[in-house]
């Protein structure tokens, strides 16, 4: 019943067979479960960026706002500070988050607001005809870079870890059950939870498919050394032998709302 309440009348305009359909299903499954456990539908809030991924805003019936490209995270932090009782999610893409939004991503990890950042990573600006993003593999050829991407890709998992995110995870977009499990853990986590969704675009960057290299890791708690070891196994190029998915790191620290409230009280 709860899952049906999350449906909208909008018809998805994603390409037939896109893994965004699977990610939408996983997110609906998770939110419906949390609603059954007591979180009210009106207490969810979502902020999206701009991109194929962010169209999810039209297909899931919770409150929210379309953010500017790269600016979903600061908008979401503002919502959380204004009403800490809300369960706040952001849906963005790899270009959205790690190019235009890089500074916001790093500082969101530092601030540790109690919210969940879900990044759909297909290593291409697919909505704008496939340009390379900061996670595109070296050699990826596009109309903008006919000789291939020259720069090494960044590693968002390592970036989140060193920037202070208190929950860091990676999912395989094609595994709905495991993705839903991780999303539930992320949303219930008190602090900034970063979840990366590795997916493949059907149109652009077809060569970079790492499905066969993916394997599940056991949930890791506060062992930063182990988390970094897992993060080092995949450098976002196409030569990795192993690509771990699961919860890399989870630790409890004071959240932004608590620190902000103390500051507000000190100024009264």
Percent of all residues in the chain with a pLDDT value above 90, rounded to a whole number:
68
Which tokens belong to 38? 């007591």
Q: How many other CB atoms are there within 10 angstroms of residue 233's CB atom?
A: 15
pTM for the whole thing? 0.93
Write out pLDDT tens, residues 176-228.
999 999 999 999 999 999 999 999 888 887 766 788 889 999 999 999 999 99
DSSP line for 51-119: STGGGGGGGS-SEEEE--TT-HHHHHHHHHHH-TTSEEEEEEEHHIIIIITHHHHHHHHHHT-SEEEEE
Which position has the token pair 């499990």? 181
Write out pLDDT tens, residues 19-49.
999 999 999 999 999 999 999 999 999 999 8
């Amino acid at each position: 019943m709860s899952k049906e309440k999350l449906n909208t009348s909008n018809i998805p305009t994603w390409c037939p067979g896109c893994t965004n359909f699977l990610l939408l299903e996983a997110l609906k499954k998770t939110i419906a479960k949390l609603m059954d456990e007591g979180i009210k539908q009106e207490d969810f809030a979502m902020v999206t960026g701009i991109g194929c991924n962010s169209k999810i805003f039209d297909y899931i019936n919770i409150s929210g706002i379309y953010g500017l490209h790269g600016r979903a995270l600061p908008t979401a932090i503002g919502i959380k500070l204004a009403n800490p009782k809300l369960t706040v999610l952001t849906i963005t893409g790899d270009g959205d988050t790690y190019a235009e939004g890089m500074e916001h991503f790093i500082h969101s990890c530092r601030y540790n607001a109690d919210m969940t950042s879900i990044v759909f990573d297909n290593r291409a600006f697919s909505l704008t005809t496939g340009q390379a993003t900061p996670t595109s593999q070296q050699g990826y050829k596009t109309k903008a870079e006919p000789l291939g991407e020259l720069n090494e890709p960044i590693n968002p998992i390592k970036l989140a870890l060193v920037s202070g995110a208190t929950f860091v995870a990676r999912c395989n977009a094609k595994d709905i059950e495991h993705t839903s499990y991780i999303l539930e853990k992320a949303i219930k986590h008190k602090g900034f939870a970063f979840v990366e969704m590795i997916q493949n675009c059907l149109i652009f960057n077809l060569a970079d498919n790492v499905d066969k290299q993916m394997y599940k890791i056991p949930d890791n708690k506060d062992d930063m050394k182990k988390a970094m070891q897992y993060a080092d196994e995949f450098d976002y190029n196409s030569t990795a032998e192993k690509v771990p998915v699961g919860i890399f790191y989870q630790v409890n620290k004071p959240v932004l709302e608590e620190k902000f409230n103390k500051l507000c009280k000190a100024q009264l």
